[in-house]
Amino acid sequence: MFVSREGSHQVVATADLVDGLYGLQTAHRSANTATSGCNGVDLHAQLGHAPADVLRKMVATNMIKDVKVPLTSSGSSACRGCQQGKWSKNHSYATKDKSSYDTFELLHFDICGPMEMNSLGGSKYLLLIVDEASGCMKGSCLSVKSESENYTTRYVTMVPAQLGKKVKFDTTKPASSQPTRFNCSTKMKALSNKR
């Protein structure tokens, strides 16, 4: 099929009928795009926050043209995303000297949820128990958040019974500043002090 202008009979395009649809035949175009005068900051972000030396190598080997990349590193990056990526997270539960605790003496409890979708068993929350010394983790799926108190109490009483270890508790921060730690911590302290 030929496509022509309305007033004249000049052919502007041709189209082929394939599976009931007309497809215009066009000149092959490259998927790459070209811009002129791109700066190093934009290129840095477009290439997934690539380091300055990588950008300099790409410019030096003519992989990228017409880009102004600083020749030397100016110390810390001016990119806010890169600065935030280098920040370290302060884990409030991490202790300085792990060797001072024996296995299952110091446990950390964390709960997450509610999840967007229930698990196959109908659970919405995940309770994670981490042993400070060994790094051993135990996870449990909970249907409601209030189940965490009973599960935690059972776990804390199970450790001395099965392993002969007395559980210690991290009291470095007040309970009011630890919203994910459980309200039952005073009950558990009382349990561990009775033993």
Dump the DSSP string for 32-86. Answer: ----SSEEHHHHHHHTTS--HHHHHHHHHTTSS-SEE--SS--SS---HHHHHHH
Q: Which amino acid is at 152?
A: T
If pLDDT is split at 50, 70 and 90, which confidence band does 52 have? confident
In angstroms, the CA 66 to CA 130 distance is 53
Q: Which residues make Cβ contacts (< 8 Å) with residue 103, sequence separation at least 6?
A: 131, 133, 134, 136, 163, 165
CA distance 66 to 63: 10
Query: What pLDDT is recorded for position 12?
Result: 77
For residue 169, give the nearest of 179, 158, 156, 160 by alpha carbon.
156
Closest CA to 82 of 53, 42, 44, 39: 44
Checking if the pLDDT of 188 tops 50, the result is no
26-47 pLDDT per residue, tens: 776 655 655 566 677 777 877 8
Nearest to 101 by CA among 152, 159, 30: 159
**In this structure, are residues 124 and 146 in contact, taking their beta carbons and an 8 Å threshold?**
no
End-to-end CA distance of the chain: 91
Q: Tell me the per-residue pLDDT of 133-170, one tens digit each, with 9 for 90 and over.
A: 788 888 889 999 888 888 888 888 888 788 777 776 65
Q: Which two tokens stand for residue 58?
A: 């790409």
Global pTM exceeds 0.85: no
Q: 183 falls in which pLDDT band (50, 70, 90)?
A: very low
Domain ranges for the chain: 38-73, 98-194
Q: Cα angle vertex 39, ends 71, 35, to 5°?
A: 130
Is residue 188 within 8 A of residue 152, CB to CB? The reply is yes
pLDDT at 55: 83
179 falls in which pLDDT band (50, 70, 90)? very low
